[in-house]
Amino acid sequence: VEELLRSPVRARFALTSPALAASRRGSALLDALHARRVTVHEVSEGEFATAADTDAPQGVLAIGEIPERSLDSVALPPRARLLFLDGIQDPGNAGTLLRTAAAFGVAATVALPGTVDLWNAKVVRSAVGSLFHHPAFSGTWEALDTFRAEHAVAVWGADQGGEPLDAVTDPPERMALVVGNEGSGLSEQARARLERRVAIPIARGVESLNVAVAAGILLYEFRP
């Protein structure tokens, strides 16, 4: 909620428990909520627990307006990276991917069909605030086709069957990196659009890396 209030996303309403006001950090947050003219409603600890869906809630829940974002609103510098999520189903992975994309200055993250809703509460929590600042939204393959043609974006994919990463020395000025489903990898729609596929070399006998770890390594290596 602190991150939400520091972001351009509009907070509409907050639910708090009595414990919040007891800590210095909690009471500063309450002040910030009032300063931003957010409607705050305090309920008992018991009622609060029934509204929170975590085991150890921190005494504050907020409702924010999902920002209107699309590819049209993305500002693309001459050297840029984008991240395309192709059927990422685990909300923890999706949130960690958003956090990672924000950390490496990715211009936008696009959730393609089959990917979990980016505003799912577990995704929001795993993204630890990055979703409020980082341009992330859902999109279609067709919209991406138009965008990449207009903006000269090369589409590369993370794929264990691709070229080894340590042999790739010439990343393009503008690249969209596609990462695929946790179990089945890249979709047919992704494969049909890829210019290059890159593999992170891993030890024999190990099946794969976690998708957010793989994306982190590739976004670091290909940082603009």
Least CB distance from residue 224 to a copy of itself, whole Å?
11
What are the C-alpha distances in Å from 222 to residues 97, 101, 123, 131, 178?
15, 12, 25, 22, 13
Closer CB to a copy of itself, residue 125 or residue 191?
A: 125
Task: Please give the structure tokens belonging to residue 206.
Answer: 């190990």
Least CB distance from residue 28 to a copy of itself, whole Å?
17
- Kindly state the helix (H) or strand (E) to which residue 50 belongs, with its residue range: helix 45-51
Q: Distance between CA 164 and CA 200 in Å, rounded? A: 6
Q: Which of 47, 49, 40, 48 is nearest to 1 (CA)?
A: 40
Closer CB to a copy of itself, residue 149 or residue 203?
A: 203
Do strands 174-180 and 108-111 pair parallel, antiparallel, or not at all (unpaired)?
unpaired
The angle at the Cα of 136, spanning 51 to 163, to the nearest 5 degrees, equals 125
Q: Which of 198, 161, 160, 154 is nearest to 176 (CA)?
A: 154
Residues that bind a copy of itself (CB under 8 A): 92, 96, 99-100, 102-105, 128-130, 133, 200, 202-203, 205-210, 212-214, 216-217, 220
Closer CB to a copy of itself, residue 69 or residue 133?
A: 133
Closer CB to a copy of itself, residue 16 or residue 100?
A: 100
Least CB distance from residue 90 to a copy of itself, whole Å?
10
Least CB distance from residue 145 to a copy of itself, whole Å?
28
Closer CB to a copy of itself, residue 40 or residue 213?
A: 213
Least CB distance from residue 136 to a copy of itself, whole Å?
14
